[in-house]
């Protein structure tokens, strides 16, 4: 049996990086998955990968910055699966690294809409369904940037800190209805969001590993997906309002 048998999951940001890896791993562990993204071609690739691991999934094109599209995602998920008891909020953008004085209003608006507001809207829409289903698990992707300074990434880290705080408060309100809300705080994970000066520079990667990644390598999306499976499963029933740090020992001592 899979660890997520009889689970019905929605994964946002599912066409690349952490979201894609998690959607595939959820399906591999037995969950039925609705993945979202803005690129239909990548959505088709996601479904093919889910099929390869023997899973079942659907794709819904959605820009989470818009409430009507999130509502359509909600309705699609309920139509296809009948219920939703796992929500993995993973959409995210990271503006170019620069001085705080050079950050623009457009950067702030984009990060707020994508990295915070969409998470709040998604939780508001799916929590009533989880209560009706007897409980559920919401997993919000924050960042290690939310608890330690990362120069150049001011709005990104601030919105991720807001996600963590919101998650704790929502967890407290709905714990008695058995709706659990936790966050994952990834460290340096190599995805399409990794800044180019790191992604395209082996020397910079080696420097990061030497200075921060005490376990000897940068992270990959599956490293986060493993944690997400745990939080989505009944194995983590006693966890709510918590932050799961997966960072290869990068942050606390530096």
Q: What is the CATH number of the domain that holds 47?
A: 3.40.50.720
Q: Which of 58, 155, 156, 214 is catalytic?
A: 156
Q: Is residue 209 part of a domain?
A: no
Q: Is residue 250 part of a domain?
A: no
Backbone angles phi, psi at 134, to 5 degrees: 95, 10
Q: Cβ distance 33 to 56 under 8 Å?
A: yes
Q: Is the pLDDT higher at 127 or at 100?
A: 127
Q: Cβ distance 25 to 225 under 8 Å?
A: yes
Q: Is residue 233 part of a domain?
A: yes
Name the domain count of the chain.
Answer: 1
User: Is 155 a residue of the active site?
Assistant: no
Rounded to an integer, the average pLDDT of 150-154 is 77
Q: Is residue 206 part of a domain?
A: no
pTM for this prediction: 0.90
Q: Which residues contact 208 (CB under 8 A, 6 or more apart)?
A: 188, 198, 218
The residue written with tokens 């620069």 in the block is: 98
> What are residue 99's DSSP bridge partners?
none
Rounded to an integer, the average pLDDT of 52-71 is 97
Residue 65 structural domain = 8-193+222-245
pLDDT in tens, 168-219: 999 999 999 999 999 999 977 766 666 665 666 676 656 665 566 666 667 7
Q: Is residue 118 part of a domain?
A: yes
């Amino acid at each position: 049996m899979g660890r997520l048998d009889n689970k019905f999951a929605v994964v946002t940001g599912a066409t690349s990086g952490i979201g894609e890896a998690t959607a595939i791993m959820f399906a591999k562990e037995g969950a039925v998955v609705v993945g979202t993204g803005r690129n239909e071609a990548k959505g088709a690739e996601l479904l093919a990968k889910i099929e390869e691991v023997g899973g079942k999934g659907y794709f819904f094109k959605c820009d989470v910055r818009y409430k009507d599209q999130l509502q359509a995602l909600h309705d699609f998920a309920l139509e296809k699966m009948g219920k939703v008891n796992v929500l993995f909020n993973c959409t995210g953008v990271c503006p170019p690294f620069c001085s705080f004085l050079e950050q623009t209003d457009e950067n702030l608006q984009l990060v707020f809409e994508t990295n915070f507001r969409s998470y709040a809207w998604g939780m508001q829409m799916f929590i009533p369904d989880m209560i009706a289903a007897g409980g559920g698990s919401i997993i919000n992707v924050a960042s290690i940037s939310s608890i330690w300074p990362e120069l150049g990434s001011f709005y990104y880290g601030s919105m991720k800190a807001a996600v963590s705080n919101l998650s704790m408060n929502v967890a407290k309100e709905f714990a008695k209805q058995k709706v659990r809300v936790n966050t994952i705080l990834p460290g340096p994970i190599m995805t399409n969001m990794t800044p180019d000066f790191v992604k395209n520079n082996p020397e910079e990667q080696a420097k990061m590993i030497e200075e921060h990644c005490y376990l000897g390598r940068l992270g990959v999306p599956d490293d986060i997906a493993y944690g997400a499976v745990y939080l989505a499963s009944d194995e983590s029933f006693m966890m709510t309002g918590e932050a799961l740090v997966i960072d290869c020992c990068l942050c606390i001592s530096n």
